[in-house]
């Protein structure tokens, strides 16, 4: 008789854990679904913008052709400070 009670108790505990896990999983799945829907909408918006897509394709061609500017040169042209120097100057 005790073994039947233990099994019933364990089954009840397992059932409770499964329901709890399913609720948590369902919540996470809904969050991910919403996140992907947002990303899909943003991607569709970008893909629908013909001028933006032409600009992206042109940039990709220029990268393949080696028409890039090293980051150090860009920083010098824009007079960008290293991030540690910016933190010190704010104090």
Contact 71, 77 (CB under 8 A): no
Locate 50 and state its tokens. Answer: 């013909």
> Of residues 75 and 6, which shows the higher confidence score?
75
Locate 75 and state its tokens. Answer: 């920083």
H/E stretch holding 32: helix 2-48
Burial of residue 7 (CB within 10 Å: 0-12, 13-18, 19+) is exposed
Distance CA 78, CA 71 (A): 11
- Summarised one tens digit per residue, pLDDT across range 23-64 is 777 777 878 888 888 888 888 899 899 999 999 999 999 999
């Amino acid at each position: 008789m005790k073994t039947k009670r233990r099994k019933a108790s364990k089954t009840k505990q397992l059932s409770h854990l499964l329901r709890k896990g399913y609720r948590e999983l369902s919540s996470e799945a809904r969050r991910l679904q919403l996140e992907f829907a947002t990303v899909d909408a943003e991607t569709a918006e970008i893909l629908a913008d013909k001028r933006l897509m032409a600009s992206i394709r042109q940039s990709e061609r220029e990268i393949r052709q080696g028409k890039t500017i090293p980051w150090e040169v860009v920083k010098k042209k824009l007079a960008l400070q290293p991030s540690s120097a910016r933190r010190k100057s704010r104090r």
